[in-house]
Amino acid sequence: MERNSPRQEGGILLSHAHHLERIEETLKEQFSAHEPLVNEVTSHILCSGGKRIRPLLTVISGIMCGSEQEPLYRLSAVPEYLHAASLLHDDVVDEGQMRRGKLPAYKIWGNRAAILAGDYLYAKAIELAASFGIPAIASTIADTVAYMAEGEILQMQHATVVEYTVEMYTKVIFRKTAALLGASCKIGGLLGGEEKGADALWEYGTNLGMAFQIVDDLLDLTADEEELGKAIGTDVAEGKRTLPLLMAQDRADSGDAAWLTRLLERRRIPGPEELARLKELLEATGALADTKAKAVDYGEKAVEALAPLPDCEEKAFLADLVQFVITRRK
Amino acid sequence: MERNSPRQEGGILLSHAHHLERIEETLKEQFSAHEPLVNEVTSHILCSGGKRIRPLLTVISGIMCGSEQEPLYRLSAVPEYLHAASLLHDDVVDEGQMRRGKLPAYKIWGNRAAILAGDYLYAKAIELAASFGIPAIASTIADTVAYMAEGEILQMQHATVVEYTVEMYTKVIFRKTAALLGASCKIGGLLGGEEKGADALWEYGTNLGMAFQIVDDLLDLTADEEELGKAIGTDVAEGKRTLPLLMAQDRADSGDAAWLTRLLERRRIPGPEELARLKELLEATGALADTKAKAVDYGEKAVEALAPLPDCEEKAFLADLVQFVITRRK
């Protein structure tokens, strides 16, 4: 994986620093009205260094489809709320240890507050989406919340069993991750009143989301721990069969395959020697390269989906973002 | 509290047996499409002897406002889904012991499945509400989900502290219970296209809901355990200061008030002798009678709210339902 210099990484987001500032302001304005405890819990998750990719997608997509900017900033909080809500519940469900370099909310305030604050953020996102009075925005967000819950449930039921397949993995990550990125783009387009543009942006966003999640699953095995802000191998510790692990297991000889199964069933963070053997296995079987290639494929599909949209600065940014997502190191 | 004969109790619901049958069918149809584990968990909560008061309110309200019946049955699943979702999360959060005479879902399938199935049901409810393409229905349901989450959070933060007031109690139960009953009625009216009727029905439903919750809080202290299907005194065990307890504490002499505080802080189901002393205190201070009177007040407001609606069989049923809710024994 290529290394992004800090300048490159900052570069792509800084090119839209004025949007990001307005997004931060809007998020702060909106959640300052909540109950004190909700504020505390939601601030913890909302203000912990997220990249704001989802709201930025809404804003950029909306501008491309002719929407005014002020209502777009308000709308852009919707996907960020949904994202934060899902992180709150995921951490309770997965017993996550670290999130963006901080303790997860449930470890500080307890399951009770994390579940309720998650419910509250889901509700506020839906309320905000419905407040625009555009049925297609409300139903896109409603569908997305359903996809996300379905993805979590499918993952819980299947992702830790030996019979898990690449097909099932694809279904899970589409629901868990890609649908929300697709919706982030689509609702911007819908606010601009461009139904066809909105559909193209949904295609873009879902493919970007697939690439994003596949890279995430790779980073869980290959990133620098300090740079990533959480332990390497947490998916392994949760017994989750992500794409690189599925490919490696499929292609390994019976000895290595059995070792990998034991590693996944043990439910512990792998030690340094195990991680080294795992990486070697991923390289030797070609699982690492082919997983990366799969992410690149989805990235290409994302860029192709933009074809019907007129050429403009925003479209160029969306294409650059694909590169950023694929080459990111954290 | 007057005793309902089984005939009376069955009577009011049986008068709408044909609606209840269609409601059951629609609920079954809709959730048979879900993932197997979601089906299991949701069936457990959806098919455990709930009275279906919420969907029935939607159907009756819709008919009063001129809606066709087929889409009404579909819409009526929305409040039942929200109710079931909130029960799933409440039980995780409150560590509930029994629900409608059965073990709660989280005790059978674990926190993970209960949280995710709850998220899924919220999502499906919102998706279904948005599918009618009527913005006011989508936003009523979105507001309701926000109210419910807010109510849970307020309760978590405040209901167990000594400074809890009747005013705060009122705010909590409006959000936790009354808003959903109001919304159940209102969305029926909105589907019928009668905005003014829908507003009157919201007033009716929220006041009915306030009466319903106050009676619920009374039953937790005074019901017959077998009839109720769960332990008496669970609110006391959770340290929740419900209206009868707030009134009793306010009016008791310092010795009894201190005893009550200790009882609420101990977080255990009260024993038979403690329950007897508690009932005596509730009677002696007039807290029991005044709580009942408060429920009757809200019931009267509910009936008054129906005034703008034309007289019809459905309106008479809604008035009867107020009596049923106030005099119920479980």
Span A31-51, pLDDT tens digits: 666 667 777 777 777 776 678
The pLDDT tens digits of the residues spanning A264-287 come to 999 899 999 999 999 999 999 999
Cβ-nearest to A135 among B113, B133, B149: B133
Do residue B145 and residue A123 have CB atoms under 8 angstroms apart? yes
| Residue B133 sits at the chain A interface (C-beta within 8 Å) | yes
Average pLDDT over residues A132-157: 90
Handedness of CA B265, B266, B270, B275 (dihedral sign): negative
CB burial of A219-257 (b: ≥16 within 10 Å; e: otherwise) equals bbbbbeeeebebebbbbbbbbbbbbbbbbbbebbeeebb
- Chain B contact probe: residue of A127, A134, A161, A190 with most B CBs at under 10 A: A127
Q: What is the mean pLDDT of residues B267-291?
A: 94
Q: What Cα–Cα distance (Å) separates residue A156 from each residue in A30, A110, B75, B102?
A: 33, 21, 30, 24
A253 at the B interface (CB within 8 A)? Answer: no
Contacts of B112 in chain A (CB under 8 A): 93, 156
The β-bridge partners of A99 are A102
Share of chain A above pLDDT 90, in %: 58
Distance from CA of B149 to the nearest CA of A (A): 5
Q: Round to whole Å and give the CA distance between A211 and A326.
A: 7
pTM of the full structure: 0.85
Q: pLDDT tier at A10 (50, 70, 90 boundaries)? A: low
Residues of B in contact with A154 (CB under 8 A): 35
**B residues 35..94 contacting A (CB < 8 A):** 35-38, 89, 92-93
Contact call for residues A263 and A176 (beta carbons, < 8 A): no
**Residue B122, C-beta contacts closer than 8 angstroms, at least 6 positions apart:** A119, A122, A145, A149, B81, B82, B85, B145
Q: Domain locations in chain A?
A: 6-327
Query: Tokens 């005790």 map to which residue?
Result: B107
- Percent above pLDDT 90 for chain B: 58
pLDDT in tens, A68-127: 999 999 999 999 999 999 988 887 766 666 666 677 777 777 777 788 888 888 988 998
Distances (CA, A) of B284 to A258, A275, B247, B278: 71, 70, 11, 10
Tell whether the model's pLDDT for residue A190 goes beyond 90.
yes
Residues A295, A326 contacting (CB under 8 angstroms): yes
Residue pointed to by tokens 């319903």: B212
A4 confidence band (pLDDT: 50, 70, 90): very low
Amino acid identity, position B253: D
Could you identify the residue written with the tokens 């390269």? A289
- For residue A210, the SS3 value is helix
A contact test, residue of B93, B153, B161 with most A CBs within 10 A: B153
Contact present, B269 and B234 (Cβ < 8 Å): yes
Residues A73/A53, Cβ–Cβ less than 8 Å? no
User: A146-155, B40-49, B129-138: which has the minimum mean pLDDT?
Assistant: B40-49
Phi-psi category of B95—alpha, beta or left, where left has phi over 0 and alpha has psi -120 to 50? left
A111 vs B contacts (CB less than 8 Å): 92-93, 111
Strand-pair partners of B148: none
CATH architecture of B6-327: Orthogonal Bundle (1.10)
Q: What is the Cα–Cα distance from A192 to A184, expressed in whole angstroms?
A: 13
- Residue A190 C-alpha, separation from nearest chain B C-alpha, in angstroms: 15
Is the pLDDT score of B32 beyond 70?
Answer: no
- How far apart are the C-alpha atoms of B79 and B100, rounded to whole Å? 18
Nearest CA in chain A to B126: A142
pLDDT of residue B80: 94
Distance between CA B88 and CA B113 in Å, rounded? 9
**What secondary structure does DSSP assign to B225-294, as a single string?**
HHHHTS-TTHHHHTT---HHHHHHHHHS-HHHHHHHHHHHHS-SPPPHHHHHHHHHHHHHTTHHHHHHHH
- Whether A115 and B89 lie within 8 Å, measured CB to CB: yes
Say if B161 is an interface residue toward chain A (CB within 8 Å). Answer: no
